[in-house]
Chains A and B, each alone.
Chain A
Amino acid sequence: MVQQTLNSSWQNVLTKVTAWARINSPWAIHFNSGSCNGCDIQILATLTPRYDVERFGIKLQGSPRHADVLICTGPVTMQARDALLRTYEQMPEPKFVIAVGSCGLSGGVFHGCYNIVGGINELLPVDVFVPGCPPRPEGIIYGVAVLLEALKAGKRPEPIQWSGGGLDGVLHSGSGLEDHHG
């Protein structure tokens, strides 16, 4: 992609402003690539009054062209694969992927079924994995928070080992992608 660059000091200011805006109000798009609905109702539950992620500026909205974060669930069925890739390609750079649920991590309970690709990271570079079947809404919010923390530091999330504190899983990431926006 050809990027127009201003002279460096202005460019620095602009980069800072866009990073600030992105961290304070990430817009997410939700894509169900063949999950059982369990994760999807939990993602939707994060929007509703008990969890209410909109108070952090996180907004779930419809168009991939407006989205920063792709929140993806499901073991990626063969039918949904093309739609998922298309949705991802329509998102503007920089874009981040959060895989939610055990199916999104590895295919989960459907591992070995004939019509699934198995795991979102087979297709897309995933930044944060949120394990659980389905993860609790708190877990999904924590996954987004991990991503935002990493962005604040100007990089993609580092692989971390984390346990305890109410979430019974290990949240880790590591897409192997170079940092191409910081």
Chain B
Amino acid sequence: MTADTNKFVIPIGPQHPALKEPANFEFWVDGEIVTGASVRLGYVHRGIEKGAEARTWTQNLYLMERICGICSHVHATAYTLGVEKLAGVEVPPRANAIRQLMAELERIHSHMLWLGVAAHEGGFDTLFMYSWRDRETVMDLLEKISGNKVHYSANLLGGVKFDITPELAAEVHKGLDFLEERNRFYLKVVTTDETFIGRTRDIGTMTTEKAEFLGAIGPTARASGVARDIRVDAPYLTYDQFPVKVMTHTSGDLHGRFIVRIHETFESIRVIREILDHIPQGDLTTRVPRRIPAGEAVSRVEAPRGELLYFIASNGSEKPERVKVRTPSLCNWSTVLSLAIGLKLADMPMLLSGIDPCFSCNDRSIRLKRGQQDPQVWSWEKLRQYGIEYYR
């Protein structure tokens, strides 16, 4: 983290037009070539894990959903899956199918959002405007189903809040037809536009071995040929009834990440259609006790950005004893920092957005053990001083 004083350092952030969320990057450049990179996170650290310990199991549902505004449904799903596992509750299959439906709609929304943002970082604002215009279609569908555009609040402990009526299903089908057609167009743009290919092909190439070594996950790893997807490896919800295919690409560069994400959108569209046609009948909710029996549970789901893991510990009371969240964005930072070296500075925004970073997810405190004198309680001033010293 200590910069070489002879190097020219370019700081980016925390407030920067290319970043929609606060984070601080430092790129050490030699002329135009990046020779080193560091990232400083933590601007969005709110203390959610600790806050969860002061809220009841049901209240936490709303807190967990607000860890991230883009993949809010998967956070709530991972949390409910863990709590239901602890409580030993069997959720009705219809509720699980609706959860999967929402998760896949959310994946479409997230990938289209990313396509726009990544194109914007590459200076291709036309694609940004087009993809965000079409993204409103999936936002409308989510709003029609749930009543809200971003935090759908679909999950309850033991079920879901709303049903998919035949009228809604018809609307979703109609919206999906439009989205599929538009995404075919985007695939064509991404694979044939010369300027765009110039910005993406052979930029930030990551081999399969390197992806494994750096611990990359999600579409970032799948673009490097790592066939890893929790939906397939460890099916949850109704992913065993309505399976999805793992989309991989062998190129490993930014271009491959675009292709993988657009293909995943197609796969989501296909599986949503399948769910709508074969949705199981039955109840939407089942009863979950107010006090969750003591124990520990781990739940894993596939967020749009990769594997999301929740560890939940209960001591038998109305509140959780510990909730630990491990989000995908944090795992992918090392790939950015290692791939940045040797690239041009102008490629940095594209490389950063290539992993689809979500700072609000990944800003959780990590405690590093250093030395013998390690007090457990730190004042804000002391912690702040520690942070300044650490990054000096």
Write the residues of chain A forming the contact surface with B, with a CB cutoff of 8 angstroms. Answer: 29-42, 44-45, 48-50, 61-64, 74-75, 77-80, 83, 86-87, 108-110, 112-116, 133-134, 136
Contacts and interface: CB of A to CB of B under 8 A. Distances in A.
Interface of B (DSSP majority class): loop
A116 B22 contact: no
Interface stretch (B61-69, B165-173, B177-185): B61-69
Contacts of B149: 42, 134, 136
Given A37-B70, A38-B66, A134-B150, 19 more contacts: A32-B21, A32-B22, A36-B66, A37-B20, A38-B150, A41-B113, A41-B150, A45-B136, A48-B136, A61-B17, A78-B384, A79-B44, A79-B45, A86-B15, A112-B54, A113-B46, A113-B48, A133-B66, A133-B148
Nearest to A101: B69
A43 B14 CA distance: 18
A117 B14 CA distance: 18
14 contacts: A30-B20, A35-B360, A36-B68, A38-B72, A41-B70, A48-B128, A48-B129, A48-B136, A62-B17, A77-B46, A109-B66, A114-B47, A114-B50, A134-B149
Give 9 nearest A-B pairs by CB, closest first. A38-B69, A62-B17, A37-B69, A48-B132, A113-B47, A113-B51, A38-B150, A115-B47, A49-B133
A77 B47 CA distance: 9
A116 B46 contact: yes
Nearest to B131: A48
A35 B17 CA distance: 17
B74 interface: no
B390 interface: no
B129 A41 contact: no
A100 to B, nearest CB: 12
Contact of B51 (A29, A62, A64, A110): A110
Contacts of B139: 45
B107 interface: no
Contacts of A45: 132, 136, 139
A79 B42 contact: yes
Interface in B36-54: 42-48, 50-51, 54
B380 interface: yes
The size class of the interface chain B forms with chain A is 35 or more
Nearest to A48: B132
B43 A79 contact: yes
Most buried by B among A61, A77, A112: A77
Interface centre among B21, B48, B68 (most CB of A within 10 A): B21
Interface string B3-20: 000000000001111001
Contact of A50 (B20, B66, B67, B133): B133
A102 to B, nearest CB: 9
B257 interface: no
B151 interface: yes
A75 B69 contact: no
A56 to B, nearest CB: 17
A37 B21 contact: yes
Nearest to B42: A79
A101 to B, nearest CB: 9
Nearest to A50: B136
A44 B20 contact: yes
